[in-house]
Amino acid sequence: MTAAAEALRQPTSAQPGSLRANLRLFWLGGLISYRALFNWARPSIYIPTLIGAPTFQILFFAALGSYATGIDAEFFAIGNAVQVSAMSGIYGMTMAIANERWFGTLHALLATPASRWAIFGGRFIPFIANGLLVSVYGFAISWIFLGVELRAEALGVVALGLLATVFSCSAIGAVQGGLSMRLRDGLFGANLLVFLFLLFCGVNIPLEVLPGWMQAVSQVLPFTHGLQAVRAAVDGAGLDQVGGLIAIEFGIGAFYAVLAFGLFSFLERSARQNATLDVR
Amino acid sequence: MDGLRRNARLVWRVWVFTMRSFLASEFFILTAILQPVIFASIAFFLFQAGGDAAGEHTLLWAALGTGMMGVWSTTLFGCGGAIQWHRWEGTLELLVAAPSRYDMVLLGQTLGASTFGFYSIVATIAWGMVLFGMPLNADFPLLLPVALAVAILSLGCLGMLLATSFVLYRHANALSNLLEYPIWIVTGMIVPLAVLPGWLGPISWVLSPTWAMEAIRGSAIGSEPPWLAMVLCVALAVVYYLIARRVLRFVLDKARRDATLALA
């Protein structure tokens, strides 16, 4: 039995609704939901999907980008090393929310008086950690095969930029998860989002090359500002230079997180009123 | 003769059924149409930013390449899970126990998947023409339908080989996720093999998407008819089919002996 499951078995003296109970729900609920609802958590799926596919995505775009534009492969390697965190942030968060309905546990979850903030917020943590892990792996691959170098003094700012990006990506993934509670195929939107990030957010195409309307759209999407910050930090920019970009990325993430929570609450109310909680 | 007609009819029926069921699937609409259009846009912008690295036919090069990437993705996902879906739906035992040959059912299914993938090429060419002003002219227009037909055949048979191989692995979809980008790279769909490391060459020769791409691109923007590529597509299709049939027989015999046919 794992530590998380063992901890859940222990009786708790915390009053339902108290801060302690909510923190417990936030932390343990997040861990348990990751294990129960993330279909890709087992090694036989995790390794090909979250380790293998990102490796080849980075190599593919480095080859295509440097061939087509003549720009150094480093540009594409960094962009994709950051973007691969979407595998966890988008697909993971979609599964972590929408699978409650598909696995038939949603009604039991919503029947509890537990804080929705604690239930919902706790789900972010494992996927943010997972996204960071995938991106760090992406940087390692970029270093090994494409010669991308990170100086020691840049690591802190790069890590902060990466954290902001992974958070905002997970937040929009939570919005998608909320929508998926009503859709027949939630992963359709998740797939589409992941591909659109590749096109809109400066992952592969320098933003100035995109038409004006696409640049405008990119400003409200995750990745755009965080990725700019990470690129600048890799080139030696300090926190004073990229702090604004990181703050915007966190802000975008916070906006999507609040939107996702609002959507989740709305759908819960609507499903109760219309008796459509388990309708598929 | 009767047997041949019966098998051809079976393949045709399953082909039609597969095409129709994919048309109703959001996932395959995404894989065969939306995803290639997004990748085509990325390629168009990149080639434009780089000053048309692939020469005067850059846009058509990119449209065909990204279209073919979509064909591969559809084939990969459509065939990778072909047997697994029958298991999930509880129809595998019925199909295997039926007097009709199961390898023909699977062939129809995988040919259907690879044919459906060709919506990708239509989508990326239309996208390039409408949004990027791409001119459409084929150097060997009469060869183009032949090239498309041999490409469908070769990818369908490769798909059949994938379907039979993946059945030994419980999480076929994960393998499909893994194999999408590597084949795009190693078969030179959008980045010419000449600019990639030389050791990839021999790997690309045994993969039919390499020759399918060569046949289609050669018919559209080639300097001479791509006869060799077409012949190799057909030859590889035959080899894949024979291997797949053998593997399928082994896998099904083993599953029947071990009573694991329905176990996913």
In this structure, of A71-80, A188-197, B84-93, B115-124, the range with the lowest mean pLDDT score is B84-93
CB contact under 8 A, A70 and B196: no
How does DSSP classify residue A278? T
How many beta carbons lie within 10 A of that of residue A278, not counting itself?
11
Only one residue has tokens 């509670």, namely: A181
CB contact under 8 A, A206 and B174: no
A12 pLDDT band, cuts 50/70/90, is: low
Provide the residue-wise pLDDT of chain B in tens; the chain has 264 residues: 678 899 999 999 999 999 999 999 989 999 999 999 999 999 999 998 887 665 667 888 899 999 999 999 999 999 887 887 888 888 888 998 899 999 999 999 999 999 999 999 999 999 988 888 888 788 888 998 999 999 999 999 999 998 888 776 767 778 888 899 999 999 999 999 999 999 999 999 999 999 999 999 999 988 889 999 999 999 999 999 999 999 999 988 888 888 887 765
- A104-119 pLDDT tens trace: 888 888 888 888 888 8
Residues of B in Cβ contact (< 8 Å) with A45:
171, 173-174
Chain A: nearest CA to B39, how far in angstroms?
8
Query: Phi and psi of A203, rounded to 5°?
Result: -70, -45
DSSP string, chain B: -HHHHHHHHHHHHHHHHHHHHHHT-HHHHIIIIIHHHHHHHHHHHHHHHTT-TT-TTHHHHHHHHHHHHHHHHHHHHHHHTHHHHHHHHT-HHHHHHSSS-HHHHHHHHHHHHHHHHTHHHHHHHHHHHHHH------SSTTHHHHHHHHHHHHHHHHHHHHHHHHTTSS-HHHHHHHHHHHHHHHTTSSS-GGGS-TTHHHHHHT-HHHHHHHHHHHHHH-SS--HHHHHHHHHHHHHHHHHHHHHHHHHHHHHHHTT-TT--
CA atoms within 13 A on the CB side of B151: 30
- A112-161 pLDDT tens trace: 888 888 888 888 899 999 999 999 999 999 999 999 989 999 999 999 99
Who's near B189: CB < 8 A, 6+ residues apart?
B65, B66, B68, B69, B72, B183, B209, B213
Query: Phi and psi of A104, rounded to 5°?
Result: 75, 20
CA pseudo-torsion sign A106, A112, A113, A115: negative
Start-end of H helices in A47-181: 53-69, 73-83, 86, 93-102, 106-111, 116-122, 124-146, 155-180
Chain B interface disruption, residue of A64, A72, A209, most B CBs within 10 A: A64
How many beta carbons lie within 10 A of that of residue B142, not counting itself?
9
User: What is the distance between the alpha carbons of residues B33 and B38, in angstroms, rounded to a whole number?
Assistant: 9
The model scores a pTM over 0.80: yes
User: What is the distance between the alpha carbons of residues B68 and A96, in angstroms, rounded to a whole number?
Assistant: 33
CA pseudo-torsion sign B110, B116, B117, B118: positive
Chain A: nearest CA to B4, how far in angstroms?
40
Decide: B10 and B99 in contact? Cβ < 8 Å.
Answer: no
Residues of B in Cβ contact (< 8 Å) with A67:
53, 191-192, 195
Decide: A246 and A229 in contact? Cβ < 8 Å.
Answer: yes
Decide: B49 and A69 in contact? Cβ < 8 Å.
Answer: yes
User: What is the distance between the alpha carbons of residues B153 and B237, in angstroms, rounded to a whole number?
Assistant: 6
How many beta carbons lie within 10 A of that of residue A88, not counting itself?
29
Q: Quick check: A205 contacting B, CB < 8 Å?
A: yes
Q: Whose CA is closest to B167, among B85, B94, B257?
A: B85
Q: Whose CA is closest to A189, among A168, A174, A202, A167?
A: A174
Residues of B in Cβ contact (< 8 Å) with A199:
38, 41-42
Per-residue pLDDT, A280: 57
User: What is the distance between the alpha carbons of residues B142 and A143, in angstroms, rounded to a whole number?
Assistant: 47
Residues of B in Cβ contact (< 8 Å) with A204:
42, 46
Give B242 or A17, the one with higher predicted confidence: B242
Decide: A64 and A146 in contact? Cβ < 8 Å.
Answer: no
Residues of A in Cβ contact (< 8 Å) with B36:
none
Q: Which two tokens stand for residue B42?
A: 């990325």
Residues 168-207 of B with CB under 8 A from A: 169-171, 173-175, 177-178, 180-182, 184-185, 190-192, 195-196
Chain A: nearest CA to B172, how far in angstroms?
9
Q: Quick check: B47 contacting A, CB < 8 Å?
A: yes
Using the predicted structure, report yes or no on whether residue A279 has a pLDDT greater than 70: no
Residues 14-33 of B with CB under 8 A from A: 26-27, 30
- A222-242 pLDDT tens trace: 999 999 999 999 999 999 999
Decide: A142 and A54 in contact? Cβ < 8 Å.
Answer: no
b/e per residue B61-99 (b: at least 16 CB within 10 A): bbbbbbbbbbbbbbbbbbbbbbbbbbbeeeebeeebeee
How does DSSP classify residue A49? I
